[in-house]
C-alpha cells in the first residue's frame, strides 16, 4: 500500500509538471473577449500556479515565488508593487507565532502538558476518559502549535498506551483506529479555535484585510472558532466512538503512566520562559477584545491599544523575549537561539506571501471582479448564506486533494469578489472557506496528521474514509450554523 501511494504521488507530480505550463500557454494564446489584457495575462499565470499547487509538481513555496516573478516579467506590476505583499503585516504574525511554537517544542512544553493531563487520577480511572484526554490534549496543543506537531507528539504516547493494553490480548483491538483518528481529527478541531492555530485562518484574515478592508481581531476569531471547535470535537468523538467502541474495562495502566511521569524532570528555565512569552502573547491578543466588551469598541483606550499593539506585532514582541530571557546568562544561552528559530516553516510563509500577491493582482486587474460577477450569474443566487454554504462545500472538497493553505489562497480572493459583486458581506463565506479547508478527514494525503496516523499501520483506509464522509457532512453543517448564528451577532453579516 505504501509503495502504491508513493507511485500515485509521483505520477501526480509528473502530470502537473507538464500540464501546468501547457494549460497556461493555451490560456495565454487564446484571449477571452470579456477580459482586459492584463486580466487575461494574469489568468494564464494563475492557471500555472493553481495546477502546480494542486499537483505539487514543484514545492508550493517555489510556485509562489516563481509565479510572482512571472507577474513582474509579464508587466503586471513593478517588482516593488508585486513583492510588497511578501512583507504584509500578517506575514509577521506568522513569523512570530512560528517562533513561539518552536520554543514550545524545543523545551518540551508540549510533551509535559500531555503527560500531566494523562497522569490525572480521575482520567486514568476509565478507558473513555484516557482517550478523551489524549484527544483533548492534541486539540489544545493545536490551538498554539501546528496540527502536525501536536499529532506527532501524541501518537507515540497513544501507541505506548495501546501497546500496554494490547499486551494482555492476542491481537489489536477494534478500538485502535478510532483512538488514533481522534488525535488526527481532534488536531483539526483545535486548529480552528484560534487565529494562529492553522495557516488558513491567518490567510483568510489577511486577505479580508487586504481586499475587503475588514479587520478581524484575535478575540473575534476565538469568539467564533472556539465554540465551533468544542461542538465539532464532540461530534468527532461521538462518530469515532460509534464506529470504534471502546471496551468497558482496561488493564491497570498506572505503571505505564508512572513511566511517562518519570521521564519528566522539574520545570526548566526554558519552559518557564516560554510560558511567560506565550501567556504574554495570549493576554495581548485577548485583552483588547475583553476591554472592547466592557468599554465599547470605540473607546479611547481600546482604540489606542489596537493602534499601538496590532495583533500582527504581538507575537513579534513575545517572540523577542525568547531571545532575551536567559537560560545561562554567563554562557550566553537564551531561551531560543537563531539556529533553532531558523527551523520554522519558511515555506508556508512564502506560500502565504504568494497568495497575497495573486489576490492583490486579481483585484488590480479586475480579474477577481469579473470572476465573481460571472459566478453570481452562473449560480443565479447572490444571497449571503447560500454563498457561504457553497464556499464551505467547495473548500471541503478541494482540501481533500490540495493542501489547506493552497486551497485557501486560491478560493478566498474569488469568494471575496463574488460577495462584493453580490453586495453582501465577504466575512461569512471567507470564514467558511478557512474553516472548511481545515476539515480534511477522508484521505491520508489530505493533511499531515492524517498521514501520520495512517502511517502507524493501525488505521485502515476504509475506516478513515467511512468516518471522514460522516465528519465532512457534520463539519459543513456545524460551520454554516455557527457562522449563521454568530456572524450577525458580531456585526460581520
Residue 483 is predicted with a pLDDT of 94
Please determine, for residue 14, whether its predicted confidence score (pLDDT) is greater than 70: yes
Residue 229 is predicted with a pLDDT of 92
Dist CA 271 CA 281 (whole Å): 15
Please determine, for residue 161, whether its predicted confidence score (pLDDT) is greater than 90: no
Residue 430 is predicted with a pLDDT of 92
User: pLDDT tens-digit profile of 187-205?
Assistant: 889 989 988 788 888 888 8
Residue 401 is predicted with a pLDDT of 59
Cell of 124: 486514568
The residue among 223 and 88 whose pLDDT is bigger is: 223
Q: What is the mean pLDDT of residues 263-275?
A: 83
Please determine, for residue 254, whether its predicted confidence score (pLDDT) is greater than 80: no
Backbone angles phi, psi at 334, to 5 degrees: -120, 175
% of the chain residues with pLDDT over 70: 83
Residue 4 is predicted with a pLDDT of 35
Residue 118 is predicted with a pLDDT of 64
Please determine, for residue 253, whether its predicted confidence score (pLDDT) is greater than 70: no
Cell of 437: 479547508
Only one residue has cell 486560491, namely: 410
Only one residue has cell 468523538, namely: 237
Residue 297: CB partners within 8 Å, gap ≥ 6? none
Please determine, for residue 8, whether its predicted confidence score (pLDDT) is greater than 50: no
**Burial of 184 (C-beta count, 10 Å sphere; 0-12/13-18/19+):** buried
Cell of 148: 502536525
Only one residue has cell 449571503, namely: 384
Report pTM: 0.68
User: pLDDT tens-digit profile of 315-326?
Assistant: 888 889 999 999
Residue 110 is predicted with a pLDDT of 67
% of the chain residues with pLDDT over 90: 16
Q: Report CA dihedral (435, 441, 442, 447) to the nearest 10 degrees.
A: 80
Residue 372 is predicted with a pLDDT of 63
* Most confidently modeled range among 111-115, 213-217, 290-294, 457-461: 213-217
Closest by Cα among 466, 459, 454, 391 to 425? 391
User: pLDDT tens-digit profile of 361-392?
Assistant: 877 887 766 766 666 666 655 688 888 988 88
Backbone angles phi, psi at 342, to 5 degrees: -70, -10
Residue 100 is predicted with a pLDDT of 80
Q: What is the mean pLDDT of residues 296-300?
A: 74
**Burial of 78 (C-beta count, 10 Å sphere; 0-12/13-18/19+):** exposed
Q: What is the mean pLDDT of residues 272-289?
A: 83
Dist CA 469 CA 276 (whole Å): 41
User: pLDDT tens-digit profile of 413-470?
Assistant: 888 888 887 788 899 999 999 998 888 787 765 676 777 787 677 888 788 888 888 9
Please determine, for residue 117, whether its predicted confidence score (pLDDT) is greater than 70: no
Please determine, for residue 149, whether its predicted confidence score (pLDDT) is greater than 60: yes
Q: What is the mean pLDDT of residues 472-486?
A: 93
User: pLDDT tens-digit profile of 24-34?
Assistant: 999 999 888 77
Dist CA 118 CA 130 (whole Å): 7
Please determine, for residue 170, whether its predicted confidence score (pLDDT) is greater than 70: no
The residue among 186 and 146 whose pLDDT is bigger is: 186
**Burial of 24 (C-beta count, 10 Å sphere; 0-12/13-18/19+):** buried
Only one residue has cell 495583533, namely: 311
Cell of 380: 443565479
Strand pairing partners for 328? 333
Only one residue has cell 491567518, namely: 202
Only one residue has cell 499486551, namely: 167
Task: Place 311 in a pLDDT band, splitting at 50, 70 and 90.
Answer: confident
**Integer CA distances (angstroms), 239 to 178, 301, 384, in order:** 9, 46, 30
Dist CA 22 CA 57 (whole Å): 13
- The secondary structure of the chain, three-state, reads CHHHHHHHHHHHHHHHHHHHHHHHHHHHHCCCCCCCHHHHHHHHHHHHHHHHHHHCCCCHHHHHHHHHHHHHHCCCCCHHHHHHHHHCHHHHHHHHHHHHHHHHHHCCHHHHHHHHHHCCHHHHCCHHHHHHHHHHHHHHHHCCCCHHHHHHHHHHHHHHHHHHHHCCCCCCCCCHHHHHHHHHHHHHHHHCCCCCCCHHHHHHHHHHHHHHCCCCCHHHHHHHHHHHHHHHHHHHHHHHHHHCCCCCCCCCCHHHHHHHHHCCCCCCHHHHHHHHHHHHHHHHHHHHHHHHHHHCCCCHHHHHHHHHCCCCCHHHHHHHHHCCCEEECCCCEECCCHHHHCCCCHHHHHHHHHHHHHHHHHHHCCHHHHHHHHHHHHHCCCCHHHHHHHHHHHHHHHCCCCCHHHHHHHHHHHHHHHHHHHCCCCHHHHHHHHHHHCCCCCCHHHCHHHHHHHCCCCCCHHHHHHHHHHHHHHHHHHHHHHHHHHHHHCCCC
Residues in the chain, overall count: 493
Dist CA 49 CA 30 (whole Å): 18
Residue 22 is predicted with a pLDDT of 94
Amino acid at each position: 500500500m505504501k509503495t502504491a501511494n508513493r507511485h500515485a504521488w509521483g505520477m501526480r507530480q509528473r502530470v502537473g509538471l507538464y500540464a501546468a505550463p501547457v494549460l497556461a500557454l493555451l490560456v495565454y494564446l487564446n484571449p477571452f473577449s470579456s477580459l482586459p489584457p492584463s486580466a487575461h495575462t494574469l489568468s494564464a499565470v494563475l492557471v500555472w500556479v493553481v495546477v502546480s499547487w494542486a499537483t505539487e509538481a514543484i514545492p508550493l513555496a517555489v510556485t509562489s515565488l516563481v509565479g510572482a516573478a512571472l507577474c513582474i516579467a509579464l508587466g503586471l506590476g513593478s517588482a516593488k508593487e508585486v513583492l510588497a505583499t511578501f512583507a504584509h503585516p500578517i506575514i509577521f504574525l506568522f513569523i512570530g507565532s512560528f517562533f513561539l511554537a518552536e520554543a514550545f517544542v524545543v523545551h518540551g512544553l508540549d510533551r509535559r502538558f500531555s503527560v500531566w493531563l494523562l497522569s490525572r487520577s480521575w482520567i486514568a480511572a476509565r478507558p473513555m476518559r484516557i482517550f478523551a484526554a489524549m484527544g483533548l490534549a492534541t486539540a489544545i496543543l493545536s490551538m498554539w502549535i501546528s496540527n502536525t506537531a501536536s499529532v506527532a507528539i501524541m501518537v507515540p504516547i497513544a501507541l505506548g498506551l495501546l501497546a500496554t493494553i494490547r499486551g494482555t490480548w492476542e491481537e489489536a483491538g477494534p478500538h485502535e483506529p478510532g483512538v488514533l483518528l481522534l488525535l488526527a481529527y481532534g488536531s483539526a478541531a483545535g486548529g480552528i479555535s484560534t487565529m494562529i492555530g492553522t495557516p488558513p485562518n491567518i490567510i483568510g484574515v489577511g486577505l479580508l484585510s487586504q481586499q475587503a478592508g475588514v479587520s478581524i481581531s484575535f478575540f473575534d476569531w476565538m469568539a467564533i472558532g472556539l465554540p465551533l471547535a468544542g461542538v465539532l470535537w464532540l461530534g468527532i468523538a461521538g462518530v469515532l466512538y460509534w464506529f470504534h467502541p471502546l471496551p468497558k474495562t482496561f488493564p491497570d495502566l498506572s505503571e505505564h503512566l508512572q513511566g511517562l511521569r518519570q521521564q519528566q524532570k522539574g520545570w526548566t528555565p526554558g519552559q518557564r520562559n516560554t510560558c511567560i512569552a506565550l501567556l504574554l502573547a495570549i493576554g495581548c491578543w485577548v485583552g483588547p477584545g475583553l476591554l472592547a466588551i466592557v468599554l465599547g469598541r470605540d473607546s479611547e483606550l481600546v482604540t489606542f491599544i489596537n493602534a499601538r499593539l496590532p495583533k500582527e506585532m504581538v507575537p513579534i514582541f513575545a517572540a523577542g523575549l525568547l531571545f532575551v530571557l536567559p537560560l545561562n546568562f554567563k554562557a550566553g544561552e537564551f531561551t531560543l537561539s537563531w539556529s533553532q528559530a531558523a527551523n520554522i516553516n519558511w515555506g508556508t510563509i512564502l506560500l502565504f506571501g504568494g497568495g497575497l500577491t495573486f489576490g492583490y493582482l486579481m483585484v488590480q486587474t479586475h480579474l477577481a471582479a469579473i470572476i465573481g460577477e460571472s459566478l453570481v450569474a452562473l449560480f443565479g443566487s447572490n444571497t449571503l448564506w447560500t454563498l457561504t454554504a457553497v464556499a464551505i462545500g467547495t473548500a471541503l472538497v478541494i482540501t481533500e486533494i490540495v493542501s489547506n493553505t493552497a486551497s485557501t489562497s486560491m478560493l478566498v480572493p474569488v469568494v471575496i469578489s463574488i460577495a462584493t459583486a453580490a453586495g453582501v458581506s465577504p466575512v461569512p463565506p471567507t470564514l467558511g472557506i478557512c474553516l472548511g479547508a481545515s476539515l480534511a478527514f477522508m484521505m491520508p494525503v489530505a493533511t499531515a496528521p492524517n498521514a501520520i496516523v495512517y502511517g502507524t499501520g493501525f488505521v485502515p483506509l476504509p475506516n478513515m474514509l467511512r468516518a471522514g464522509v460522516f465528519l465532512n457532512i457534520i463539519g459543513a453543517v456545524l460551520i454554516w450554523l455557527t457562522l449563521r448564528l454568530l456572524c450577525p451577532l458580531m456585526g460581520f453579516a
